[in-house]
Amino acid sequence: MRKLETYKPIQARVTYKSPLKIKSDSLQKLSRDKRAIVCIFFLFIVFIIGIFSPLLAPHNPEELFYESILEAPSKEHLLGTDAIGRDVLSRLIYGVRVTLTVSLMAVTITFFIGTLIGLICAYVGGWVDNVLMRIMDILLALPSIILALAIVAVLGPSLTNAMIAVGIASIPGFARIIRGAAITIKSSGFVEASRSIGSSHSWILRRQFLPNVTGILLVYTTLFIGVAILDTAALSFIGLGAQPPTPEWGTMLSEGKNYMLDAWWLATFPGLAITIVVFAVNFLGDALRDIFDPKSSR
């Protein structure tokens, strides 16, 4: 019930304004929000680094430098080398690719299945809603990382499976939020009007439901990217995600933790990278929420 309450004002808005109007309105707000701009800019740079990592990285991330094992940051190796002589900076840069790919793919899975389940529950209602939501409730009872662990345990440890596991593990939360937002639209006047003139179900879902939950979708998709990055890193940390020698931040962190006292740079840099990127993603998500959720807007 509380969720429903939260999104009520959206319904009020929606009934008075066309969806298109909301969009241009929000873009304007976004461009005025400095922190959002900074985050978007930062994430854009991270993205560019990911795309051009072969050009940017000083070394091959899998190359072993036998002569400089566990070397502190120096000119040759700006962020030092790891326990078996690989360049930390290069691994970090290539790690961007892995991290972004995995988290975006995971969120895509969450996004499509979660939205579908959420909208169907809201639109169909009745026993379909009840059954689907009870299943989601059961899954929600487990922390998402435990669920992801269980899925990886079944599928076997690999990056692709980690991607699938993290994606699936986030579905229940996502579906619940979308359902909450969509259920308020169901009872609105324009939906009833469309129904009474005989519009098809798919038309109503596509043209009336979807546009009205776009804001919420955007906010939560962004926030879930942060969650996905963390979950992927966590799975890799315990050895169930990226397999060696793939440069992945969680794996690097895990390999570095045994050297905390001897080689601080091993765990520090991947740790910082995860923190900063997740921080930026969450900040952006918060900014978007302020814009799309009128209740919390200033």
Partner 1 sequence: MGLKHVSKSFLLLTILALSMILIIACSSDSASTSNPDKNPSKVTSSPQSGGTITIGLKEEPDTLDVHKTAMSAASNVTSHIGGTLLAINPDTNELEPYLAEDYQVSDDGKTITFKIRQGVVFTDGTPLTAQVYKDTFDRILNPETGATVAASLIAGIEYISAPDDQTLIIELKAPSAPFLRNLASPGYLQPLSKAAIEKHGNDYGRNPVGAGPFIFKEWVTGQSITLDRNDAFNWPQVSSKNQGKAYPDHIVYKFIKDDQTMLAALDSGSIDIAMGVAPKDVQRYRNNPKYYVLENERQGLGLFLEMNLENKVLSDLNVRTAINMAINKDAIIKAVINGEGTPAYGPIPGTIFGYDPNVENYGHKLNKDKAISLLEQSGFKKNGKGIMEKDGKELALELSIMAPQSQAAQMVQAMLKDIGINVNIQSMEAGTLIEKATKGEYDLSFLSYSYSDPDILFLLFHSSQIGGLNHVRAQNTELDKLLEEGRTTIDPEERKKVYASIQKIVVENAYWAPIYAEKNFYVVNNRVQNVKLSKVTIEYQDSWVQQK
The CB density around residue 236, as the number of other CB atoms within 10 Å, is 27
Q: Which of 9, 157, 211, 271 binds partner 1 (CB under 8 A)?
A: 157
Give the tokens for residue 12: 């009020």
Q: Which of 69, 113, 116, 155 binds partner 1 (CB under 8 A)?
A: 69
Residues near 218 by beta carbon (within 8 Å), at least 6 away in sequence: 288, 292
Q: Which of 248, 255, 286, 290 binds partner 1 (CB under 8 A)?
A: 255
Q: Pick the piece of the chain touching partner 1 (CB under 8 A) from 120-128, 186-194, 224-232, 257-265.
A: 257-265
> What is the DSSP secondary structure assignment for residue 296, as one 8-state letter?
G
Number of residues that bind partner 1 (CB under 8 A): 21
Residues near 178 by beta carbon (within 8 Å), at least 6 away in sequence: 114, 115, 117, 118, 119, 122, 213, 216, 217, 220
Q: Residue 113 CB, nearest distance to partner 1 (Å)?
A: 30
Q: Determine if 248 is a binding residue for partner 1 (CB under 8 A).
A: no
Which residue's CB is nearer to partner 1, number 146 or number 260? 260
Residue positions counted in the chain: 298
The CB density around residue 157, as the number of other CB atoms within 10 Å, is 17
Sites for partner 1 among residues 173-232 (CB under 8 A):
none
Q: Determine if 244 is a binding residue for partner 1 (CB under 8 A).
A: yes
Q: Which of 6, 29, 40, 62 binds partner 1 (CB under 8 A)?
A: 62
Q: Given its phi and psi angles, is residue 85 left (phi above 0), alpha (psi -120 to 50 degrees) or beta?
A: left
The residues binding partner 1 (CB under 8 A) are: 62-64, 66, 69-70, 83-85, 157, 239, 243-245, 255, 257-262
